[in-house]
Chains A and B, each alone.
Chain A
Amino acid sequence: MKVAVDVPSYVKCRQSCRASMSAVRCWRFKRNVKDVSEEELFAPGHRGCAGCGCTVAMRLALKASGKNTIATHATGCMEVVSSPYPETAWRIPWIHVAFENSAAVASGVEAALKALGKKDKVNVIAFGGDGGTVDIGFQALSGAMERGHDLTYICYDNEAYMNTGVQRSGSTPFGAATTTSPVGAVSLGNDRPKKDLPAIVAAHGVGYVATASVAFPLDYYEKVKRAIAHKGPSYIHVHSSCPPGWGIPSEKSIEILRLAVDTGMWVLYEIVDGKGRITYKPATKHPVEEYLKVQKRFRHLDDETIAKIQESIDKRWSELFED
């Protein structure tokens, strides 16, 4: 579970701020909540579950990129909840084609805008879930990133195939129970660690790569702004909660997402032109058990397994946060 990010000590975040998570003011980015656009381009009334973190990821992304945006979307929860014909939650031009090709469709959109002389005026965002990005859409994503299209890919990672009923994806964390990694006499749930996709995208030489969390809205908002401003391909991987898929109460959705960061299960960073930096350092490191025990998908884990998870987090934590 090593993050293959080069984090020079001088860029490590020393603010230990908790402000960004309360959505008031992020020290690192000097971004104030008042700077966030009030325009709602992802309309309310979509079919997302109560407490769905992913819909917040959509909404904030569009606030950051503004109305001069064309978005493409992979099949998945966010596509389904937002576009039941003849209704739509999208107040920007939006296209869904299939599960595995959001990046390829976005390549076409970008090329068309170029050919028609409109690219300077329009941002292109490709959205995909973790399945549509790290698994079945991986090839199309890799191709689009490698070809250097001027577009931003945003993967909202809810850590399983939620739309089809919580099956395991390559992004499902170690130990999580899903319907295809069930717990049984000879199974502890998902037996593989989470695929480190941001690092793989960074290995393409992509100029702007960032991880984010819906529980840190200003951090995420700023990263989308930066990704869009970056000429060429950019990539954001945003950790997003799914109450039914994770087995958590809707009202705890953001709190638990925040715990992912505070325990070190999820780390917020950005890699700009190959240079990585942590954008948020938790004030105190919470034991991972706090994150695991509040979610049904992890509830079966025994002490030994939890210790194993803690160990891998500790290792990464010391690499990232301790000089």
Chain B
Amino acid sequence: MATDVIHGSKAVAEAVKLCDVDVIAAYPITPQTRISESLAKFAATGAIRAEYIKVESEHSAMSACIGASATGARTFTATSSQGLAYMFELLFVASGMRLPIVMANANRALSAPLNIWNDQQDSVSARDCGWIQIYVETNQEALDSVIQAYRISENHEILIPSMVCLDGYVLTHTMEPVDIPEQDLIEKYLPPFKPALSLDPDSPITLGAFANPSTYMEFRYEQQKAIERSFKAIEAAGKEYGKLTGREYGLLEEYNLDDAEIVLITMGSLAGTVKETLASLNDRRIGLLRVRAFRPFPKDDVRRLLKDVDKVAVIEKDISVGLGEGALFSEIKSSLYGLDSQPSMAGFIAGLGGRDVTPEDIAGVVKKVEKGFEGTGWVGLK
């Protein structure tokens, strides 16, 4: 195992290299671009053997991944913000066809106004597309999660595409020490891709047929059942990975929860800031629940972990305009629905369009909820 100090983008590219991907199709967009550039460099130097399609758009990137995956290739793409929005209709096709495509999304705000900085509105808005969504906290986790994503998605019991979401700039453009596992270790962990079905002249199949009202619903139902099975697969993949590398992952990360009365909840790199803040507050009554898997959403685990807590405060970088709260807050509330004694709940919108969320902001949130704040609030609003 070699430790390198690298950007999150490079960490993702290293993971793709380790996974011996067959086809890559990607289109540049800040802050994702460095992922596609690193992969292009790998392809140019022969470090990877993948066919790299320099598509003319993200729409075609996902289309090409769908075509390639359906032909039996292990595929990868990466995008961000407008690019993800441009792919939107195809996200449903990829998951509806049950193709185990893996994509990295460098989380970035959506226009208008144009903004290239980090928030999580892009992938959060794609939550109902039928993809597994993993939000990572560190560059190391970005690398590890891409590798695990292939193992989870390609499992024939699952066959659901995966999106690994890493915060733009905060991770993509920030150097951190990252352990890069040995190739033979990953070969043990991730067997070569065996498609369940593929486009093959020796046994022709039709993919993407149209289904009328008498058959359509069952396809969606099957998807839901499959993504439910992925709870276990995500946990198993994280555990197994831990055995090989010493780094174990799950659906949720519990930090200082044993005696916690107040639990902060967030996704992605903001968890690092929260941990820093909690460490300096040094108060056993305050803990953090980091949501790693936003889809499938681990409702039952959330409920189990929060049922005896006094106060819950969600801090997130997205907003459902018109509802006035973030999607994570809505999910947490619905997970706790009907509990005998519900914790008091607060949801905070923070860091939209790359506005810094500082340890002082987090401490401010803690203070507010300690004083009994409930409902929704904004952090750092001018």
Contact = CB atoms under 8 A, between A and B. Distances in A.
Contact of B209 (A85, A108, A116, A146): A85
B22, B55, B68, B93: residue with the most chain A Cβ atoms closer than 10 Å: B68
Residues of B in contact with A, size category: 35 or more
Contacts of B112: none
B207 interface: yes
Nearest to B49: A115
A101 B201 CA distance: 22
Nearest to B67: A108
B215 A115 contact: no
A279 interface: no
Nearest to A93: B199
Interface in A54-99: 67-70, 72-73, 79-80, 83-86, 88, 90-98
A76 to B, nearest CB: 11
A98 B204 contact: no
Contact of B73 (A84, A101, A111): A111
A234 B25 CA distance: 21
Nearest to A73: B208
B71 interface: yes
A112 B70 CA distance: 9
A112 B59 contact: no
Given A93-B200, A104-B55, A113 B207 contact: no
A104 B60 contact: yes
Interface of B: 22-23, 25, 49-51, 53-57, 59-60, 63-73, 75, 89-90, 93, 198-201, 204-212, 215
A70 B199 CA distance: 7
A97 B201 contact: no
B43 to A, nearest CB: 11
Contacts of A260: none
Given A80-B210, A83-B210, A108 B90 contact: no
A59 to B, nearest CB: 16
B22 to A, nearest CB: 4
Contacts of A67: 201, 204
Given A92-B201, A96-B208, A108-B67, A143 B60 contact: yes
Given A94-B207, A95-B67, A143 B55 contact: yes
Interface residues of A, number: 46
Contacts of B50: 115
Contacts of A121: 201
A136 to B, nearest CB: 10
A283 B200 CA distance: 45
A140 interface: yes
Given A104-B63, A107-B67, A109-B71, A84 B212 contact: yes
B68 A85 contact: no
A33 interface: no
A70 B71 contact: yes
Interface in A8-30: none
A169 to B, nearest CB: 19
B67 to A, nearest CB: 3
A114 interface: yes
A112 B74 CA distance: 9
Nearest to B65: A108
A95 B205 CA distance: 8
Given A84-B212, A101-B90, A142-B56, 5 more contacts: A70-B71, A95-B66, A95-B206, A107-B60, A146-B56
A157 to B, nearest CB: 22
B204 A92 contact: yes
A236 interface: no
A109 B67 contact: yes
21 contacts: A67-B204, A70-B199, A84-B210, A85-B212, A93-B206, A94-B206, A95-B207, A101-B60, A101-B63, A103-B60, A104-B67, A105-B66, A107-B55, A107-B64, A108-B66, A108-B67, A108-B73, A109-B67, A111-B64, A114-B51, A147-B55
B63 A90 contact: no
Contact of B206 (A90, A104, A106): A90
B23 A140 contact: no
Contacts of A108: 23, 25, 53, 63-71, 73, 75
A116 B193 CA distance: 11
B61 to A, nearest CB: 8
A55 to B, nearest CB: 16
B233 to A, nearest CB: 25
B206 A83 contact: yes
Contacts of B204: 67, 90-94
A121 B199 CA distance: 13
